[in-house]
Chain A
Amino acid sequence: MAESPSALSEAFQLLISADPALTEIVLLSLQVSLTATLIAFALGAPLGALIAVSRFPGRGAVIAVLNALMGLPPVVVGLTVYILVSNAGALGPLRLIYTPTAMVIAQVLLVAPLIAALSRLTIEDMHEEYDELFRTLRLTRFAAIGTLLWDARFSLATVALAGFGRAIAEVGAVLIVGGNIAHVTRVMTTAIALETSKGELSMALGLGIILIAISVAVNAAVGVARASGRRMAAI
Chain B
Amino acid sequence: MNFMALDQSAVIGQADKMKPAPRALPVRLSGVAYDVGGLRLIDGLGLTVAPRRRLALIGPNGAGKSLTLRLVQGLIRPTAGEICWGEHAAPPAHSVALVFQRPTLLRRSVLANIRHALAAYGAPRAGREDAAMELLEMAGLADLADRPARRLSGGEQQRLALVRALAAEPELLLLDEPTASLDPQATQAIEMLIEAAAARGTSVVLVTHDLGQVRRLADDVAFLHRGRVLEHGTADEFFDEPQTQEAADFVAGRLLL
| A residues 130-148 in Cβ contact with B at 8 Å | 130, 132-133, 135-139, 143, 147
Say how far B104's CB is from chain A's closest CB, in angstroms.
4
Segment at the interface with A among B93-101, B203-211, B222-230, B243-251: B93-101
B93 touches A147 (CB 8 A): no
Q: Give which listed residue, B97, B108, B151, contacts A136 with CB less than 8 A.
A: B97
A129 touches B104 (CB 8 A): yes
A132 touches B93 (CB 8 A): no
Residues of A within 8 A of B98 (CB): 136
Majority secondary structure, B binding face: mixed
Residues of A within 8 A of B108 (CB): 150-151, 232, 234
A233 touches B117 (CB 8 A): no
Residues of B within 8 A of A151 (CB): 106-108
A232→B113 CA distance, assembly (Å): 13
Contact string, B29-64, partner A, CB cutoff 8 A, digits 1/0?
Answer: 000000000000000000000000000000000000
A171→B98 CA distance, assembly (Å): 54
* Chain A-chain B contacts (Cβ-Cβ < 8 Å), number: 44
Beyond the given A133-B104, A137-B121, A147-B106, could you list 18 further A-B residue pairs with CB under 8 A, ordered by the A residue number? A130-B104, A132-B70, A132-B75, A132-B100, A132-B104, A135-B75, A136-B75, A136-B97, A137-B117, A137-B120, A147-B116, A151-B106, A152-B107, A231-B148, A232-B148, A233-B107, A233-B148, A234-B150
User: Which residues of A are in contact with B by a Cβ distance under 8 Å?
Assistant: 129-130, 132-133, 135-139, 143, 147, 150-152, 231-235
Counting from the closest, the 4 A-B pairs by CB-CB distance are A233-B150, A234-B107, A137-B120, A151-B107
User: Which residues of B are in contact with A by a Cβ distance under 8 Å?
Assistant: 70, 73, 75, 93-94, 97-98, 100, 104, 106-108, 116-117, 119-121, 148-151
Would you list 25 pairs from A and B whose C-beta atoms are within 8 A, ordered by A residue? A130-B104, A130-B106, A132-B70, A132-B75, A133-B104, A136-B73, A136-B75, A136-B97, A136-B98, A137-B117, A138-B94, A138-B120, A139-B120, A143-B120, A150-B108, A151-B106, A151-B108, A152-B107, A232-B148, A233-B148, A233-B149, A233-B150, A234-B107, A234-B108, A235-B107
